[in-house]
Structure 1
């Protein structure tokens, strides 16, 4: 008991115990108080005597649209109620806005979400042409258009308003725009006020004045002198970094001590006489792990992509030395993670044309200084583009090692190497070694043949797999992906599957060799890191190589980004990475928080771009979001990285105070012995199965995104904490799965004998096995899941309708977005087959595909276990998942609407809805609320008055 009391006192000291309330609230009634309408082309605040709009109910939608009290200025407001899940409601304002070709307008409105189903209730603003029937988004920036935050209706805290906007540019022949509000998806209740239209120039000026003109402070005066730094380096020790597995958890050791993996990544700009990095603030906040970026090759234009390696024999290491010294002068206790970006000097492929990346059509692939921006074409379209080298160029990778060797030698000579504890390797597309186009170059072909020899070992095994009795390791060719089918046949298209896997593995294997080489140069313990783009995101750029990372690649840690649009409050933002597999293999995960805030230097980013990337507008919004994101990582015993690309996003006393307090709590948590409690629900992705989808074909398979990435975000709304593994871990150690009461399987398109054996071992003990879309569709469903499925022809209609009497939400997450032509390209949906279940007597059908009436959600009770099939990608709704878990007797926090993550010692809860409820604890515990220090002794549940957008942190200790 004394130990618990001491722990409680320490935690209480790490938080503001005088804080009112129980959680970090995102509420701010003054958030948009400064908005004015004096330059608006049209403004509607419902002060007139006539209704300024007309209402249309389409495709079965029901609801009510009326004026009410409670506007932003105390006057009237618009109240919209969509009372069912059918169709959509169109509200057309009677005002016509005259336009001419080239005019760029922005429609804006404010709202309060009173009652919505998070991520399923939609409301969009549109500028329409008279008589226009579809509601497609026409953004000035078609690739960066605000995303989900401008589509969905989030529940808002009391007194707090959200803002939506939409843009459109007038084309030839357009003379009038009409403001329109569209309500779609699940039921919702919303209060609206202050609809207005502005010229884009005015909107841009308002954006610049309010959020994009915060010059960061010059921190030159914060630095210690060069002489002081020299004295410190002379007397300093060789600092070390290492990732190890302790008590089943991946831990970061700095100088042999377990350290919370929270990293400062300042992209602070250094100019003559000035420095804008806030590395000193992070040091004062107790965060000494500091990323220092070093780009090798110079790109085009040179001023945008400056590198220290400008020609084959032209390396200038002074910039790297100066950057590290500046960081150490700002924070003398910094432990440096040297981020080396593998880019060639841009003339490299002119000197070595045979090392160029070659596209499927035989032409070189072009890119800019950091992005592979073009599909293969005979010539680049911009003078800043140049031929990119193959990731598999042995010449280039050898030159990389040569330059890194010179850099490390200089760091050792100057004593700066003492502070280096980690190496972060990046490079290629977006610095993430991303494969956006398949590589058919000779360097890639040589590497592919080497990969095949490692895989098959004998030519007989290769011939059997490829069904080709003439192929050898010396003659194998990289195949073309011409299949129009959405899956690759594991029996007849093994060559395509092998090349797809190689394309995802090879770049990071090569980078891992460079990381390992660099590590050995330092001659001490340093850990190595890599990046990861869009895990399971459905495009060629997305990351699928987690099993390879865990077992083969020479990296200790992986960095990925928290989903941009899900970072702000009242949205779930669950990690899409199989974190429990990372712990099993002793690997570390670091979540990148490159969070745009209101506090930034003047930037090229427009407002709609920043909204796309999760803009945080004020301190309450920051605190709720930071605690959500950081709490998620603490609950998973992993790390995070505050990346400042502005500079200036974190250059604010309130932000730094919150970072300091959060990190102090993290340092206490990471040193607690792991809890004996384990989740009894699991999500398992078949990493090998994901390579059976024909993503390399010209047609992007959007349901791949929905199957994993979107599905994970939806489960983040469920109120259920769960373990997350790759299937290979369960195949290697079937005992891992035996403690789970509910297991969700994703990507198991082909059930072979090893998979069948695993599934047979789990069909007992009252367990519920949930099989996501397409399970067994390429074979094995009849014996594996027991539920036979059929993939029908491609359909552009994937609506799912609940059976009568089913109370839970059964909507198709991405289909409701297509219904009003939102942001999606139509072809994303037109290529998707409907994969439905074949029912048997006694089955319970909960939902059907609207297009053919076939089962989309089906339950089957078997002796000793239950099977559930979800036919639609992303079709396991949070409400239904919560019910499955409850019926199985597994742990859940409460009903859906909460993101709950816990490791048994610590619990983080983010609220997507408000109201009185009860949070169930995973066991009888002594609990400390880390927001206000309030203690609960020997409880199994805690009553709360939840507020949408708020974040709770709890410390848990088994009750005596």
Structure 2
């Protein structure tokens, strides 16, 4: 497969270099082909598509192709229109429109494999059932295609689409569902969806566009992002609320969870000894507010922990099955196809319930070429550091990570959450691009609003970014970061869901650290253990609560001589729960303290309480300073953050950018900008994105440069032969 990139040379995608190819060539995504999911026919009997403003879509695709972005992606109807029924009329229409006027682009369709709703009527035992839903097949079947079937996995007054002329309006209210669509543990769904995918691939291979199709982005679940139905819903204990949406209590899933326990514990009696009963744990059992540390963490053998692992493993089964079909269909096209999914959203509070904790298995899978997620939606405007929803750099060590850049530019029709003007929009474009380029990651520009980039200024920036990316693509990236952030997916399965703690450890901590004025790398704990850490001077551990036997000693050996920041109850399970484990890891004792309110969560602002949970939904403790420096205290005066030598313990996530900058200075980290500023840099590119206006010296290698950058502005350099050439 050959495609021209921005510097007009040919690059080749083959079986051996797919990861490299995807990481070096940007994509563009538009709403062309955006159709109803699950498959649904309108009053005319035809599959519903939200807009047929094809001419406008094609024009934007052409603009991106002319800017050097030759890889394109959209949603493509699978043709699976009803149980056992296939119709490719809409599929072919979308294909024709994608390539009309754009014959030189290459295409990776996003194909959704959620079942048509009538499938649930015919296969009730394989249907996803919420906690308050029925347990017998006849009652489940009767709810299919009624208002009590949840089509989306969340309550909504119809399909949520963002304005624009020609956009179809939904007349179906989707609220209060008792059942969802397919169970993720259903072998019947995997078999039927596999058949639908194979049929589609044969159809595509026989089309006149076969040589332009480079792979498939496999999608299913909520929003096509492989999240279990209902896993993002707010928590409420009332029937009118959504607590009951969390988890699958359908016939097949209950059977398979029981079988999982029997297999893991060697017998039914062994399973019952551990669990008490074979039913999935209730939603409340998985995430009720805990008032003690030992209640906050699930021990090995607990039903809650096993359930989190089970839903991730069954999700991974489906991912591998579908990606394998794509890979094995490559001979039909005469060239290698790439395959990947949205996965690894471990920074979200419901990652465990969503089935997103089998990261290592998916990263190691021979059938998966790329993983993706939308860019982080927290603190993502101009002046903010932006972010991710998962450990993209760990993924990129072995697979391609494709970041979905869906920044709401000033051209978005919705006023909330968008850039204020074109200058802020340009900051967003450059920040997201430089972030990905310096971390050796791929990405696609997403236009979810029909015209987010439709201005000469923004398209000019896209062209410059594409040229820069192409210019440096043959130069291996070497991170300039001397700070490493470590996260752990394994600890999430062993931890009760807490919105407040997640807000601190996975949102605010990440944002504040990235604003410290120095580049930051992020890795999974297991990758940290196998990575050369010699260039890092400061290592920050976010949610690393659970260690395997002997792992604590390996970690301490790896970080010896570096400044280390431990957060919350680091290493308290090693592997069993004990406060002594925390002391052996950090050198500090600990004592639990009573809460004075249900609001305090460390960081003072920015918490979104749209989930019926107070931010103070986790237990607190205080480290025993025993002569150490008390760096900060709780509102009641108890020590909260303490420092002894190169060890920092922060019992409640609360450190700001200035605090991290102070610790980085103590560690000898090069502070490239002595202000609250996100810095992304490798050996090829360096970008500065300050929160407030900055007028002073920045550090570039061995040089210092006097600069003036306005608030929410940008400063980007191309590094060539040790020289820093200003791009912006």
Alignment TM-score, normalising by the size of structure 2? 0.80
Larger Rg: 1
Question: Separation in 1 of the partners of 2:432 and 2:503?
Answer: 22
Matched, 1:890 2:674: no
Give the C-alpha shift of residue 648 in structure 1. 2.1
**Are the counterparts in 2 of residues 367 and 386 from structure 1 also a CA contact under 8 Å?**
yes
1:729 to 518, 527, 530: 527
Mapped contact 1:291–1:338 kept (Cα < 8 A)? yes
Secondary structure, aligned partner of 2:340: strand
2: CA distance, partners of 1:313 / 1:482? 38
Residues 567 and 629, structure 1, Cα contact 8 Å, conserved in 2: no
- Residue equivalent to 2:166: none
Inter-CA distance 702–830: structure 2 relative to 1 (3 Å threshold): closer
- CA distance in structure 1 between the partners assigned to 2:527 and 2:682 by the alignment: 20
State the partner residue of 2:628. 843
Aligned to 1:759: 555
For residue 588 of structure 1, what is the aligned residue in structure 2? Answer: 400
Q: Look up the match of 2:41.
A: none
State whether structure 2 residue 75 is matched by structure 1 residue 293.
yes
**Distance 1:729-1:832 versus aligned 2 partners, 3 A rule:** same
Q: Distance in 2 between matches of 1:334 and 1:887?
A: 51
CA contact (8 A) 2:481 2:518 kept: no
1:953 correspondence with 2:716: yes
Pairing of 1:144-223 with structure 2 (within 5 A)? none
Partner residue, 1:521: 329
* Paired position in structure 2 for 1:264: 28
C-alpha change, 1:583 and 1:593, in structure 2 (3 Å) is closer
| Cα distance, 1:915 vs structure 2 | 3.2
Counterpart contact for 1:266–1:292, Cα < 8 Å = yes
Tell me how far apart the structure 1 counterparts of residues 374 and 87 of structure 2 sit (CA, whole Å): 31
Aligned residue in 2 for 1:423: 216
Q: Which deviations, in whole Å up to 9, do the C-alpha atoms of 1:148-207 show, x marking residues without a partner?
A: xxxxxxxxxxxxxxxxxxxxxxxxxxxxxxxxxxxxxxxxxxxxxxxxxxxxxxxxxxxx
Aligned to 1:359: 130
Partners in 2 of 1:911 and 1:273 — Cα distance? 39
CA contact 2:379–2:385 (8 Å) conserved in 1? yes
Separation in structure 2 between the aligned mates of residue 888 and residue 789 of structure 1, nearest angstrom: 25
Deviation at 1:243?
Answer: 7.4
Note closer, same or farther for the CA distance 1:826–1:790 as it changes in structure 2 (3 Å cut): farther
Tell me, yes or no, if the aligned pair for 1:685 and 1:727 is still in contact at 8 Å.
yes
Which residue is 2:591 aligned to? 790
Q: Secondary structure at the match of 2:182?
A: coil
Q: Deviations over 1:135-157 (max 9, x none)?
A: xxxxxxxxxxxxxxxxxxxxxxx
SS in 2 for 1:737: coil
**Would the aligned equivalents of 1:898 and 1:910 in 2 still touch at CA under 8 Å?**
yes
Q: CA offsets, 1:841-863, max 9 Å, x none?
A: x2000111113x221110012xx
SS in 1 for 2:711: coil
Residue from 273, 290, 299 that aligns with 1:468: 273
In structure 2, the CA distance between the partners of 1:407 and 1:633, relative to structure 1 (3 Å rule), is: same
Q: Is residue 628 of structure 1 aligned with residue 431 of structure 2?
A: yes
Residues 677 and 690 in structure 2, CA contact (< 8 A), matched pair in contact too: yes
- For 2:248, the equivalent position in structure 1 comes to 439
Q: 1:617 to 1:702 in 2, by over 3 A?
A: same
Higher helix share: 2
Alignment of 1:556-571 (within 5 A): 556-564=369-377, 566-571=379-384
Per the alignment, in what secondary structure is the counterpart of residue 829 of structure 1?
coil
Whether contact under 8 Å (1:913, 1:947) holds in the other structure is: yes
Counterpart CA distance in 1 for 2:560 and 2:180 is: 57
Task: Within 5 Å, give how 1:340-359 maps onto structure 2.
Answer: 340-359=111-130
Q: Does 1:401 align with 2:189?
A: no
Show the counterpart of 1:328.
Answer: 99
User: Hey, what's the Cα distance between the residues in 2 that align with 1:748 and 1:453?
Assistant: 29
Kept in 1: contact 2:539–2:559 (CA 8 A): no
Q: CA deviation at 1:312?
A: 2.1
Query: Are the aligned partners of 2:215 and 2:326 in contact in 1 as well (CA < 8 Å)?
Result: no
Q: CA deviation at 1:409?
A: 1.5
- Aligned twin of 1:742: 538
Report how far residue 552 of structure 1 moved: 4.4
CA distance in 2, matches of 1:959, 1:238: 27
1:881: Cα distance to partner? 0.7
Root-mean-square deviation (CA, aligned residues, Å) is 3.3
Say which SS state the counterpart of residue 886 (structure 1) adopts.
helix
Cα offset for 1:519? Answer: 2.4
Deviation digits for residues 552-603 of structure 1, max 9, x if unmatched?
484221221223353331112133532332233x211122122333435xx6
SS of residue paired to 1:828: coil
Would the alpha carbon gap of residues 663 and 385 (structure 1) be closer, same or farther in structure 2, given more than 3 Å must change?
farther
- Give ranges in structure 2 of 5+ residues lacking alignment: 1-5, 34-50, 135-139, 157-172, 232-245, 724-728
Matched, 1:942 2:708: no
CA distance in 1, matches of 2:274, 2:468: 62
Per the alignment, residue 726 of structure 2 pairs with none
Deviates more, 1:401-410 or 1:644-653: 644-653
Measured in 1, the distance between the counterparts of 2:544 and 2:177 equals 43
In the alignment, is the contact (CA less than 8 A) between 2:485 and 2:541 conserved in 1?
yes
Deviates more, 1:831-840 or 1:749-758: 749-758
Structure-2 separation of matches of 1:580 and 1:896: 25
SS in 1 for 2:583: coil
Deviation of 1:444 (Å)? 2.2
Q: Which residue of 1 aligns with 2:492?
A: 690
Query: Please, what TM-score do these two structures have when normalized by structure 1?
Result: 0.62
Residue 683 of structure 1: how far off its partner (Å): 0.7
The corresponding residue for 1:126 is none
Mark the CA change 1:412 to 1:881 in structure 2 (over 3 Å): closer, same or farther. Answer: same
Tell me how far apart the structure 1 counterparts of residues 686 and 367 of structure 2 sit (CA, whole Å).
32
Q: Give 5+ residue unaligned stretches, structure 1.
A: 1-12, 15-236, 254-258, 297-307, 375-379, 801-811, 925-939
CA contact (8 A) 2:438 2:685 kept: yes
Deviation at 1:826, TM superposition (A): 6.9
1:706 aligns with 2:504: yes
The partner residue of 1:615 within 409, 418, 440 is 418
Map of 1:511 onto structure 2 = 319
d(CA) in 2 for partners of 1:686, 1:645: 32
Contact 1:264–1:641 at 8 Å: present in 2 too?
yes
Cα 1:598/1:900, change in 2 over 3 Å = closer
2:341 to 524, 527, 530: 530
Residue in structure 2 matched with residue 771 of structure 1 by the alignment: 566
Most deviating of 556-565 and 708-717: 556-565
Structure 1 residues 492 and 339, CA gap change in structure 2 (3 angstroms): closer
CA distance in 1, matches of 2:680, 2:269: 47
Matched length? 638
> How far does residue 272 in structure 1 lie from its aligned partner after superposition?
8.5
